[in-house]
Amino acid sequence: MDDCTAQAPTALSLDEAVARIDGSFGAVTGTEEVPLRAALGRVLAEDVVAPLNVPPADVSAMDGWGYAAGTGAETSDGMRRLTVVGRVPAGSSFEGALKPGEAVRIFTGAPVPAGADTVAMQEDCRTEGDAVLVPAALKRASNVRPMGEDMTAGSVVLHPGQRMRAQEVGLAAAVGRAALTVRKRLRVVLFSTGDELREPGQPKPSHAIYDANRYTLAAQLDALGVEVRDLGILPDRPDATRAALAEAAGTADLLVTSGGVSVGEEDHVKAAVNALGSIDLWTLAIKPGKPLALGRVGTTPFLGLPGNPVSAMVTFLLVGRPLVLRLSGATSTATPRSLVVAGFSFDKKPGRREFLRARLERGEDGRPLAVKFPSNSSGVLTSMVEADGLVDVPAESRGVRPGDLVDFLPFTGLFA
């Protein structure tokens, strides 16, 4: 990153900021092998190749009766009479092959015997002695999962850069993997500065405030599966700040703080980062979360977030999260979103993209309905507790009206 001055921050759209991050940063951690049960949330660092077909044979998708379609004597009530010659539970197989007009009792997941190509659901059939009557109109291959329907032998089923969710863990297990090569956890150093801050649980004078930002940011980082080292509240002195940053940069993959990145502000963190490396100050065209700093201490990336608690959280979700994912080796940093119906009115001037805190309710038509939190203040941390996510109002928009379809960014997807 090029050196720049703090006096002329660049105004950027959110998309431009994220694009710069995607273009400037990549994986900074090495790899390690972990047991499959420890792979959840980690970033995969290898191709996972299926060594076998899944399913390994044509198998029944239902409990019922297996037979060759079109065989057996047709009855007057639209059924076909077949002779029962065996039983195939899951985990076993039928020896030999079925002849036309024969059927086997078969269970979900059991291999379909040779000579059979169709399975009739048990609730559509009836037995009479050693015979079973199946629907005559049932199409060939009904209720049969063909060999390799899910995965074929030799295919790449998981790729490097994928974050391991429950479904990826299950897929790795389905192809027999007991361990995976993943990226090592990103090491993040987190700290605060400011004589007005106090640690929660400690006495404080009336003019001081408890340091909430560091705890919310630590929780957001924990949710992304990184290793967090908390330096606490640094003394508000240039020498102490510079020494702490220099020491932390030697053991961290990313440095994160909040506050002290507004334009023209005399701040020890800005001065220390500039002295030890470089810093870019951005004015993001979003609300909340206008000021942001991105730089390097030596070669270690540095992220400076706004000081207001809501601004710090929202900016981390929109900018910090993509940065952490990119440094962790993830190929996708996309922000999860969905369309919901607005249940509120909101007026704005074009020019700045706004993220409104909202909760979801069930609308009269059954669709999710976004209800805006009453306050837009970036200092009201309770709004983040009451909300289920953020309504994304485009920069060019003049507002929202009830019934509009709006983009909704759910906290359940952003905090992971």
Q: What is the pLDDT of residue 387?
A: 97
pLDDT digits (tens, 9 = 90+) for 158-193: 999 999 999 999 999 999 999 999 999 999 999 998
Tokens of 297: 């201490």
pTM of the model: 0.88
Kindly give the pairing relationship between strand 353-362 and strand 399-400.
unpaired
pLDDT digits (tens, 9 = 90+) for 197-229: 999 999 999 999 999 999 999 999 999 999 999
For the cut 90, the answer to whether the pLDDT of residue 324 exceeds it is yes
Give the Cα separation of 211 and 200 in Å (integer). 7
For the cut 60, the answer to whether the pLDDT of residue 5 exceeds it is no
For the cut 90, the answer to whether the pLDDT of residue 268 exceeds it is no
Q: Does domain 10-29+185-327 have CATH number 3.40.980.10?
A: yes
**Mean pLDDT in residue range 398-412:** 97
Residue 286 to residues 13, 318, 354, Cα–Cα distance (Å) = 7, 10, 5
Q: In which residue are the tokens 């979103």 written?
A: 337
For the cut 90, the answer to whether the pLDDT of residue 2 exceeds it is no
The total of other beta-carbon atoms located within 10 Å of residue 134's CB is: 26
Q: In which residue are the tokens 């065996």 written?
A: 86
The domain 59-145: what is its CATH number? 2.170.190.11
Tell me the backbone φ, ψ of residue 148, rounded to 5 degrees. Answer: 75, 10
For the cut 50, the answer to whether the pLDDT of residue 67 exceeds it is yes
Give the Cα separation of 97 and 99 in Å (integer). 7
pLDDT digits (tens, 9 = 90+) for 281-314: 888 999 998 889 999 999 999 999 998 999 999 9
Tally helices (H) and strands (E) across the chain.
9, 30
Confidence band, pLDDT 50/70/90 cuts, at residue 276: very high
Q: In which residue are the tokens 């070669």 written?
A: 299
Q: What is the pLDDT of residue 155?
A: 97
Intrachain domains 10-29+185-327 and 338-410 with the same fold: no
Instruction: Give me the chain's average pLDDT, please.
Output: 93
Domains of the chain, by residue range, sit at 10-29+185-327, 34-53+163-183, 59-145, 338-410
Q: How wide is the angle at C-alpha 291 spanned by C-alphas 360 and 355, nearest 5°?
A: 15
Domain at 338-410, CATH class: mainly beta
pLDDT digits (tens, 9 = 90+) for 23-63: 899 999 999 999 999 999 999 999 999 999 999 999 999 99
Tokens of 244: 């702490």
